[in-house]
């Protein structure tokens, strides 16, 4: 069993470390920050909506926050491009 685990770990680590230079030095792999920014802002949106619900405990206020916060964040703050 130990031999199998060593062989498996060596194969996985070897494959991952063998592909790392390709990922790091990929030419023409441009892009922007829109994808990671949208994930980050989605997390912030969820936390803010939960905070509004936790503070007010009112369904109408939570629904207004659930509509207003994403409009503000994704309409104005998310980088264009």
Q: Is the domain of 56 the same as that of 37?
A: yes
Q: Is the domain of 21 the same as that of 1?
A: yes
pLDDT digits (tens, 9 = 90+) for 28-73: 556 677 778 788 888 988 899 999 989 999 999 989 999 988 888 8
Phi, psi values for residue 4, rounded to 5°: -65, -45
pLDDT digits (tens, 9 = 90+) for 11-36: 555 555 455 444 455 555 566 777 78
What is the rounded CA–CA span in Å between residue 27 and residue 71? 36
Q: How many domains does the chain have?
A: 2
**pTM of the entire predicted model:** 0.54
Q: Is the domain of 38 the same as that of 52?
A: yes
Which residue has tokens 């703050």?
77
């Amino acid at each position: 069993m130990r031999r199998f685990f060593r062989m498996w770990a060596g194969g996985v680590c070897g494959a991952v470390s063998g592909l790392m230079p390709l990922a790091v030095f990929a030419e023409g792999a441009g892009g922007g920050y829109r994808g990671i920014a949208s994930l980050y802002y989605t997390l912030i949106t969820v936390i803010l909506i939960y905070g509004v619900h936790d503070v007010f405990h009112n369904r109408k206020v939570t629904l207004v926050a659930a509509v207003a916060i994403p409009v503000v964040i994704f309409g104005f703050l998310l980088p264009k491009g």
